[in-house]
Amino acid sequence: MSSAPFGNDPAKIERYKSFWRRADATRSLVGFTTRGWFPLEEYAATRAWPVNSYLTPEMVVPEAFLEDEERLLEEGEVLDDDIIRGDMPAAAAIPWLSGMLGSRLRILPGNVLGEDRSASWDEMEALRLDRAHPWFRKYLEFAEGTTIFSAEEALAAFEDGNDTTSLPYTAALINPFLVESGFTEAEASLEGLFDASFTADYVERKGE
């Protein structure tokens, strides 16, 4: 079990470098995921979308995805593999580029599919990304609704606090909710849950 956020241990990078150098290795690079083939089942927000209808930008609320996005990334802290995990806004659930280029997005059981436009080659070659398109603007909303911490702010988040910028404070809020909603029978111990060593080491090395 990795102590690095989302399992992104720096040692993984060295294994990739060895691969590209064609250096000797004790094993192959491997990756695993607990995600299924039906991405709409992975998010509480998408499970509410009506099947056999069309998805519109107004139906996508970025804030409704954040908790599930973080949960999905946390698989890296359990799976001992070589994947370096990052994130794209609901990438598997929403075919963003199809929507941005004018396809209607049809909601299927467990998935969303951009409908075939039956466009000619000339029409396809004339396609350009319109930055004013509603799907492009909705995509950018995910970034606008996300606060990216600096390394120093991330380190401070490991300290006790009295608002949701503190990890221990936020975990203490979530604990009773998990019991009340029936997800667990008892509150989990928070002792030793948050390890700041990786972030502290990065902050220290950044200042050298």
Q: Is the pTM of this model over 0.75?
A: no
pLDDT surpasses 50 at 208? no
Q: In whole angstroms, give the CA distance from residue 53 to residue 113.
A: 11
Q: In whole angstroms, give the CA distance from residue 95 to residue 87.
A: 15
pLDDT surpasses 60 at 91? yes
Q: Give every CB contact of residue 85 below 8 A, 6+ residues apart in sequence.
A: 6, 7, 8, 73, 75, 76
What mean pLDDT is predicted for residues 29-37? 91
What tens digit of pLDDT does each residue of 146-161 get?
666 778 888 999 999 8
Q: Give every CB contact of residue 20 below 8 A, 6+ residues apart in sequence.
A: none
29, 15 Cβ separation under 8 angstroms: yes
- The token pair at 8 is 């992104």
Q: In whole angstroms, give the CA distance from residue 7 to residue 1.
A: 8
What tens digit of pLDDT does each residue of 185-206 get?
889 888 888 888 888 888 888 7
pLDDT at 207: 59
pLDDT surpasses 60 at 25? yes
49, 59 Cβ separation under 8 angstroms: yes
Q: How high is the mean pLDDT of the chain? A: 86
Compute the half-sphere exposure of residue 57: CA atoms within 13 Å on the CB side of its CA.
18
pLDDT surpasses 70 at 29? yes
Q: In whole angstroms, give the CA distance from residue 79 to residue 57.
A: 34
pLDDT at 4: 75
Q: Give every CB contact of residue 56 below 8 A, 6+ residues apart in sequence.
A: 105, 134
**Residue 14 pLDDT class (50, 70, 90 cuts):** confident
96, 71 Cβ separation under 8 angstroms: no
Least confident of 5-9, 65-69, 77-81, 99-103: 5-9
What mean pLDDT is predicted for residues 115-120? 90
pLDDT surpasses 60 at 96? yes
